[in-house]
Amino acid sequence: MDSNSDEARPCDPDDIYRAVVGLLRQRRIEQFHLRILATYGLRLSPLDPRIQEETQAYHYWDEAIDRLSTILKTKGIVLC
């Protein structure tokens, strides 16, 4: 991203894949994070931390998204 630009660049699915693989290799996320991202991402509805069965999954989802978004912000794909 150009330092003078306030626009994020388009996100390619490979960007997400490479970021997630990098996080797994660095052990910044684990397989259980990946399972939760896949399960709830395919469901296409947000987790609700108020629902007891989703409380733990929400915590792992939030951790993984936080670490992933940090990488995507650095690459200029996601803006603050």
Each residue of 19-48: pLDDT tens digit?
999 999 999 999 999 999 999 999 998 899
pTM score, two decimals?
0.79
**Site of tokens 């991402």:** 41
Cβ-based neighbour number of residue 26 at 10 Å: 9
Please, which pLDDT band fits residue 79 given cuts at 50, 70 and 90?
confident
Q: Domain map of the chain by residue range? A: 13-74
